[in-house]
């Protein structure tokens, strides 16, 4: 039987989070309210239009140092710098500071975060896990990147549960979101004078580190095109980096996406739910909508030939090219018989034991809004009202919960 312990919403790093929070708040600046969360207190819902933060309750000060006044000044400066940059008018961080219906929570969690940052659901709230004790450059690029993931979750729902999509569409959705987030944080790196640079780095094709590639490309292009402005060179570099991220075989395409695909399609069986055929049939329209939304956040224009259709077509070819990755490759995962296995698993169970993984009511509502925006004639899916299977399943779950609660008294 499939493992049902998969987190409700985690992007890029599978880490369960459980914190007890908020005791006090203080104003850091006119545009940014930060709520200090301390371990051992009661959880309350964040105040509207707020970006809050906490220090994870670990006792080792070397692994998770306490935030100093200077740390708070630096990361709040980064948030305000991004939110007030007119070139980033469509970046979601601006909305999270000003929309009373949006909340984001930042947890400084050094011991478990191995990357720059991880967008996640923390104690039921949309948030970011990241590191304390870093410099302004770190927080500028990290927040620029991770707030895109937060916003996609808020707008489209938990993407790792979109297993109603054909597997190839699911994989491209994952890649697409990460590519745009990467390109945005590289634009920030190249555009912000506060961030230290490497002016002597050259020959971008020979760079082994992906982080050095845009810097070397910028320096190469500056010599090749002396008549272009700094902004034009940065736009060219970012456009080419977007292309490289889509077509190169990287750790993300060789390891992260295959793992995400396998985790989601092994755990969730939403692809078996008849009502979700309405979503599945419109999968390409959903991905195209996401492309347009992500592209609208960029502070520069992409080359005319860098379109959704171009990269979606390339992805089909690249899957075959990446076939040499063996049984754990993306090609293998896309062609794995998840549906056949899920049907066999359900067939072996008693009818009253069978469980289908319905989307939350909130995520169905999110998708319905998107599909009606694409096509006003789309009829909303509402399995909580129309699916007898879901109604009976939720009744059984409620009864089981009552029995467990009674047994614990």
Give yes or no for residue 177 having a pLDDT over 60.
yes
| Cross-strand partners of 50 | 103
Instruction: Give the total number of structural domains in the chain.
Output: 2
pTM given for the model: 0.85
pLDDT at site 67: 74
Rounded CA-CA distance 7/15 in Å is: 8
pLDDT at residue number 321 = 77
Residues 325, 369 within the same domain? yes
Same domain, 141 and 277: no
- Predicted pLDDT at 72: 85
Same domain, 193 and 232: yes
| Band of pLDDT at residue 3, cut at 50, 70 and 90 | very low
Question: Is residue 121 in some structural domain?
Answer: yes
3-state secondary structure of 236: helix
Residue where the block lists tokens 């520069």: 300
Maximum average pLDDT range among 95-99, 132-136, 141-145 = 141-145
pLDDT > 90 in the chain, percent: 61
Residue 399, in any domain of the structure: no
Top mean pLDDT of 65-69, 277-281, 353-357 is at 277-281
- Could you tell me which residues come within 8 angstroms of residue 129 by beta carbon, excluding any fewer than 6 positions away? 13, 15, 17, 107, 109, 112, 113, 117, 118, 120, 122
CA 172 to chain centre: 13
3-state secondary structure 159-187: HHHCCCCCHHHHHHHHHHHHHHHHHHHHH
pLDDT of the residue at 402: 94
Q: Residue 317: which H helix or E strand, with range?
A: helix 308-321
Domain boundary among 124, 157, 190: 157
Query: In this structure, are 80 and 166 located in the same domain?
Result: no
* Boundary of a domain, candidates 123, 157, 191: 157
Residue 302 in 3-state DSSP?
coil
Residue 59 lies in a domain: yes
Residue 211 pLDDT: 83
Are 102 and 78 members of one domain?
Answer: yes
Q: Which domain holds residue 338?
A: 160-350+359-381
**Has residue 408 been placed in a domain?**
no
403 falls within a domain: no
Does any domain span residue 322? yes
Same domain, 220 and 148: no
**One domain, residues 84 and 195:** no
Give tens-digit pLDDT for 252-276.
888 899 999 999 999 999 999 999 9
Report pLDDT for 228.
96
Q: Is residue 386 part of a domain?
A: no
Domain finish residue from 157, 172, 193: 157
For the chain, percent of residues with pLDDT exceeding 70:
79
Residues 95 and 231 in one domain: no
Distance CA 403, CA 381 (A): 31
* 58 band by pLDDT with thresholds 50, 70 and 90: low
Domain shared by 110 and 164, yes or no: no
Q: Are residues 153 and 173 located together in one domain of the fold?
A: no
Asked if residue 121 has pLDDT above 90, the reply is: no
**C-beta of residue 204 within 8 angstroms of C-beta of residue 217:** yes
Q: Please check whether residue 199 lies inside any domain of the structure.
A: yes
Q: What is the mean pLDDT of residues 234-249?
A: 94
- Assess whether 182 and 112 both reside in one domain: no
What does DSSP assign to residue 328?
Answer: G
Residues 114 and 178 in one domain: no
pLDDT level of residue 42 (50, 70, 90 thresholds) = very low
Q: pLDDT, tens digit, for every residue of 150-174?
A: 899 989 999 999 999 999 999 999 9
């Amino acid at each position: 039987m499939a493992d049902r312990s998969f987190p409700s919403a985690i992007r890029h790093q599978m880490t369960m989070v459980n914190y007890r929070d908020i005791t006090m708040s203080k104003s850091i600046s006119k545009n940014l309210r930060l709520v200090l969360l301390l371990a051992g207190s009661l959880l309350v819902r964040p105040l509207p239009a707020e970006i809050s933060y906490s220090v994870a309750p670990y006792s080792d000060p070397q692994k998770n140092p306490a935030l100093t006044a200077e740390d708070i000044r630096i990361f709040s400066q980064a948030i305000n710098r991004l939110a007030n940059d007119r070139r980033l008018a469509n970046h979601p961080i601006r909305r999270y500071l000003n929309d009373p219906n949006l909340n984001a929570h930042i947890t400084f969690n050094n011991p478990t975060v191995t990357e720059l940052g991880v967008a996640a659901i923390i104690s039921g709230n949309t948030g970011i896990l990241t590191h304390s004790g870093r410099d302004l450059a770190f927080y500028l690029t990290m927040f620029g990147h991770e707030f895109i993931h937060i916003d996609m979750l808020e707008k489209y729902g938990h993407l790792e549960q979109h297993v109603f999509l054909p597997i190839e569409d699911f994989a491209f959705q994952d890649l697409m979101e990460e590519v745009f987030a990467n390109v945005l944080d590289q634009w920030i790196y190249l555009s912000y004078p506060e961030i230290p640079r490497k002016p002597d780095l050259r020959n971008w094709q020979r760079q082994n580190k992906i982080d050095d590639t845009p810097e070397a490309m910028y320096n190469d292009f500056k010599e090749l095109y002396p008549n272009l402005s700094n902004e034009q060179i940065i736009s060219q570099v970012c456009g080419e980096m977007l292309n490289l991220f889509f077509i190169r075989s990287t750790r993300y395409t060789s390891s992260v996406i295959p793992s995400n695909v396998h985790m989601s399609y092994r755990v969730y069986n939403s692809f078996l739910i008849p009502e979700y055929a309405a979503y599945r049939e419109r999968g390409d329209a959903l991905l195209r909508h996401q492309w347009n939304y992500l592209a609208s956040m960029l502070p520069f224009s992409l080359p005319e030939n860098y379109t959704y259709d171009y990269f979606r077509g390339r992805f089909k070819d690249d899957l075959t090219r990446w076939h040499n990755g063996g049984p754990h490759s993306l090609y293998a995962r896309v062609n794995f018989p998840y549906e056949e296995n899920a049907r066999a698993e359900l067939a072996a169970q008693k009818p009253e034991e069978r469980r289908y993984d319905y989307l939350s009511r909130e995520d169905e509502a999110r998708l319905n809004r998107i599909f009606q925006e694409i096509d006003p004639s789309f009829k909303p899916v509402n399995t909580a009202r129309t699916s007898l299977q879901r109604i009976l399943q939720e009744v059984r779950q409620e009864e089981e919960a009552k029995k467990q609660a009674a047994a614990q008294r």
